[in-house]
Amino acid sequence: MRIDFIAQPAQQLGNLLEAALASAVSPTRVVLVSAFASRQAVLRLKRRLHELHTGGTAVRVVVGVDMGGTSKEVLQELSRWPFEVFVFKNRKSGVTFHPKLYLVEAPTAGEIFLGSNNLTEGGLYRNYEGAVQVSYSLPDDAAEFATAKNQLSKFIEPGAPIGRILDNGYLQWLVARNEIPSEVEIRQGRRLARGAGTPQDEGASLYGFEPTAGPPQLPLEVQQVVIAAVRSQIDELKEAKATAQRIRRAEERKSKKAAAPGSSVALPVPETQPEFVSLTPLAQIAPTAFYLELTATEGKSSEIPGEQRIPLEAVSAAQDFWGWPDNYVRSVNPRKGEGAGGEERVYFNWKPVWRVRSISDAAKEVINGVRMYFYQNSSDFRFYSGALVGWAKAGDFIRITRGENQPYTYDCALAIAGTPEHAEWKSYCPPATGRSPRLFGFS
């Protein structure tokens, strides 16, 4: 038997757990127990757990629903999994289900991870967490392994009245309850908490900083699930907006037709239309990098040299990454000219400092402000970088990351076609769709 202590993020429990699940000798049993679970974390493990289940491994997931740590969407996702999923809840006041342990059992080895790490992106990869990994060599350590499993049986073998299988009836009862939040409500709560805290500039001077490792590459299937969810929301919003505009025009025509010749027309007061800026996404990812295939950066094919459009679903799926919408300021410019009809140009602007550089040419690097903005009239999200005009061509790729403890907010690296980085970054992008012909993706 061997005991190792894990100090995350120097060691990431998520990587150790994934390695145990991917062992050459397939586990016979896997049990994941966590007080909180996030959608992105469970989707990361979904493929491997399903593969193990199909191969005969007994898989069980046990989650808590106290303190709003597990969302309705996570429960809905887990309820569709083909193996045992338990919800652990004691209705006694003041009692919280709070353990985090992960058991992987194989014919010749056993692993138990026990610590502070929830089944979330932060718990498995990003946060400072402490845990212990106990490794058993079987059959030599069979007695010790059996003792450990027996002592932890309350959690790995949950039962009535506080451990219950997540079947469809229980799921419907749970999601109808107000104390279990949606993903939207969890993010809104975090945003309110950030707004109520120490101002960012003051906090930056009072708190220390050190670089930490991020999570591993985000599987394409996780990206696709989240992108599909927010894309559907955006489509619904656009349709609702178009419907509202059609109704408005019809009412205007009706009012003008009913008015006496030469008299002024009192047009109906327009109702507030749904807008992208107020959209609360159903799902989110927490990426470390964004990749984008560039369109033309100069000439007739580019409306504004150096300007690039970021797909709305990419912005909506990673709002914290883009600082959207908190950091953007609304501005209105009236249209000019005959036939403008009084319509206003509505922008939401932010101009953070970017470092823009070429991977293949160290001499090509600038640090300056880059305008990022959402143009509400056409529902476009854009950024402008003059450096890309001379450096890049259509089909090249950029990688955008957040600058940590740097004099810039974003680092934008350019990889031109034919370079190894170009091929690598392209591999991070799901296949293009008819509505989004350009490739983009996250890691």
pLDDT digits (tens, 9 = 90+) for 214-243: 888 888 888 888 888 888 888 888 787 777
User: Is the pLDDT confidence value at 317 over 70?
Assistant: yes
Mark whether 233 and 365 lie in a shared domain: yes
Predicted confidence band of residue 435 (pLDDT cuts 50, 70, 90): low
Q: What is the average pLDDT across 414-431?
A: 95
Could you tell me the pTM of the whole model?
0.80
**Stronger pLDDT, 208 or 60, i.e. the higher one:** 60
Is residue 190 located within the same domain as residue 310? no
Shared domain for 176 and 68, answered yes or no, is: yes
Considering 144-158, 196-210, 279-293, the range whose residues carry the highest mean pLDDT is 144-158
Residue 174 has pLDDT above 80, yes or no: yes
Q: Is the dihedral of CA 358, 359, 360, 365 positive or negative?
A: positive
- Are 133 and 236 found together in one domain? no
Residue 436 has a pLDDT of 63
Same domain flag for 237 and 176? no
Strand partners, 356: 366, 412
User: Same domain, yes or no, for 290 and 438?
Assistant: yes
**pLDDT mean over 91-118:** 98
Percent of the chain whose predicted confidence (pLDDT) is above 90: 63
- The total number of structural domains in the chain stands at 2
Q: Higher-confidence residue: 141 or 257?
A: 141
The domain in which residue 305 lies consists of 220-249+273-442
Residue (of 369, 401, 361, 407) closest to 386 by Cα position: 369
Together in a domain, 277 and 197: no
| CA-atom Rg of the chain in angstroms | 26
The CATH number for 369's domain is: 2.40.330
Q: Within this chain, do residues 352 and 285 fall inside the same structural domain, yes or no? A: yes
Whether residues 193 and 226 share a domain: the answer is no
Is the pLDDT assigned to residue 343 strictly greater than 80? no
40 pLDDT above the threshold of 60: yes
36: CB partners within 8 A, 6+ apart: 63, 64, 67, 69, 70, 118, 119, 120, 123
| Average pLDDT value for the chain | 88
Domain contains 22: yes
**Same domain as 437, residue 311:** yes
* 363 C-beta neighbours (distance < 10 Å), count: 6
